[in-house]
Amino acid sequence: MLKFTEEHEWLKIEGAVATVGITNYAVDQLGDLVFVELPEVGATFSKNDNAATVESVKAASDVYCPLDGEITEVNPAIVADPSLVNSDPQGAGWFFKLKLANATDADGLLDEAAYKELTA
């Protein structure tokens, strides 16, 4: 199940774990990424906490934690090669996996149709 935030993060939710990244729209707005900083595995975040940072040729931007939870895995490939986020933001360019404190909180996020409407 895919969910989206108004801050342009996407979540692929499988059970109580969400894979999180930034959307195609966010990548288009940022331009070519040159730096990615990811959270530490084991770190806990509340919804809307700054969990990661990206820098592009245009600007630096925060990536927010979409829901309360604990980081269980990060994607070192995007630190080594930030262009992966540009080329495949909703695939190989994922940022981190989040064990959700409460999986039902995802019900409050946008579905794909609502997100498309937001960015139209």
Q: Encode pLDDT of 13-65 as tens digits.
A: 999 999 999 999 999 999 999 999 999 999 999 999 999 999 999 889 999 99
Per-residue pLDDT at 28: 94
Q: Helix H segments across the chain? A: 24-30, 76-80, 83-87, 112-119
Candidates 2.40.37.10, 2.40.50.100, 2.40.70.10, 3.40.50.2300; correct CATH number of 2-119? 2.40.50.100
CA angle 104, 106, 111 (to 5 degrees): 135
Extract the tokens encoding 51.
Answer: 């969990």
- CA dist list (Å): 99 to 2, 34, 51, 65, 113: 15, 28, 14, 11, 25
Q: DSSP letter at 108? A: G
**Closest-CA residue to 35 (of 74, 73, 1, 84):** 84
Q: How would DSSP label each residue in 86-107?
A: HH-TTTTT--EEEEES-GGGGG
Confidence of residue 1 (pLDDT cuts 50, 70, 90): confident
Residue ranges covered by each domain of the chain: 2-119
